[in-house]
Chains A and B, each alone.
Chain A
């Protein structure tokens, strides 16, 4: 089984409360590095599972057992030019040429902060585009799709694990 890396951001538990870490350990989150900043709990998972969707779904359910409110799954779908370079393993310069259409054609349009000097792109659109050029593997596209859907689900069905795993598994095959 492969180890899948992703982060779950949560809130609602006070680290000063007794047995804060123990709750996570007992819920099966001992494969996450737990940190706390500005009232937000950050669990960086390295979870073994047959697929990325299973890993995320299992971790989501384990996190719910601790009583936290799950905010989102990361890596976030909004990415800067540097994020794209870092995640794809390509140079900043190469990505910059793509975005300016000086290399390749019809790179996805930015989706946020469009008028600023540091626009943001949708990582799923970017992976699909890079995959079409064989610059990134299919796995990256599937993972981007799963993370995006997971966050959409979390927004709509706060705290309900039902249907979460099934929904993500469908994307694995897509």
Chain B
């Protein structure tokens, strides 16, 4: 099913990777572009918000790595 693409290509790549790891992408309106829910998000899983226009450094690949962290286990690791 098609979802809207994130205008920032680094973030779009991170979001795509998060989907591959099983995160569900839910678009929202406002300053945030959408949310990533892990498979356990209804219980003790994790929800990550994705900015439309984040502070500069978050567009760096290393930072956007935070978007899919924990996707495999549903738990955040340090």
A contact residues vs B (CB 8 Å cutoff): 3, 15, 19-22, 25-26, 30-38, 42, 44, 46-48, 75, 83, 86
- In the bound complex, residues from chain A placing their C-beta under 8 Å from that of B20 are none
Question: Quick one: closest A residue to B48, CB to CB?
Answer: A35
Contact of A21 among B31, B55, B58, B76 (CB under 8 A): B31
Within the complex, the shortest CB–CB distance from A135 to chain B, in Å, comes to 20
Contact status B57-A35, CB under 8 Å: no
Most buried by A among B44, B46, B66: B66
**CB nearest to B53 among chain A residues:** A30
- CB closest residue in chain B, given A82: B78
Chain A nearest Cβ from B1, distance in angstroms: 23
Chain B 8-32 near chain A by CB (<8 Å), digits 1 or 0: 0000000000000000000010111
A37 → B minimal CB distance (Å): 4
**Do residues A35 and B53 form an inter-chain contact, with CB atoms below 8 A?**
no
* A95 smallest CB distance to B (angstroms): 16
A-B contact pairs, 24 of them (CB 8 A): A15-B47, A19-B30, A21-B31, A21-B51, A22-B31, A25-B30, A30-B31, A30-B54, A31-B55, A31-B56, A33-B66, A33-B67, A34-B32, A34-B48, A34-B49, A35-B48, A35-B66, A37-B45, A37-B46, A44-B66, A46-B55, A46-B57, A47-B55, A75-B78
Q: Are A42 and B57 in contact (CB under 8 A)?
A: no
Closest to B40 in A: A37
CB <8 Å contact, B32 and A22: yes
* Contact assessment for B78 and A83 in the assembled complex, using a CB-CB cutoff below 8 Å: yes
Closest CB in chain A relative to B48 CB, distance in Å: 4
- Considering the complex, give the chain A residue whose CB is closest to the CB of B47: A36
Q: Which residue of B lies closest to A37 (CB)?
A: B46
- Please name all residues of chain B whose beta carbon is closer than 8 Å to the beta carbon of A37 when the two chains form the complex: 44-47, 76
Find chain B residues with CB under 8 A from A42 CB: 76
Q: Give per-residue flags for B51-78: 1 if the beta carbon is below 8 A from chain A beta carbons, else 0.
A: 1011111100001001100000000101
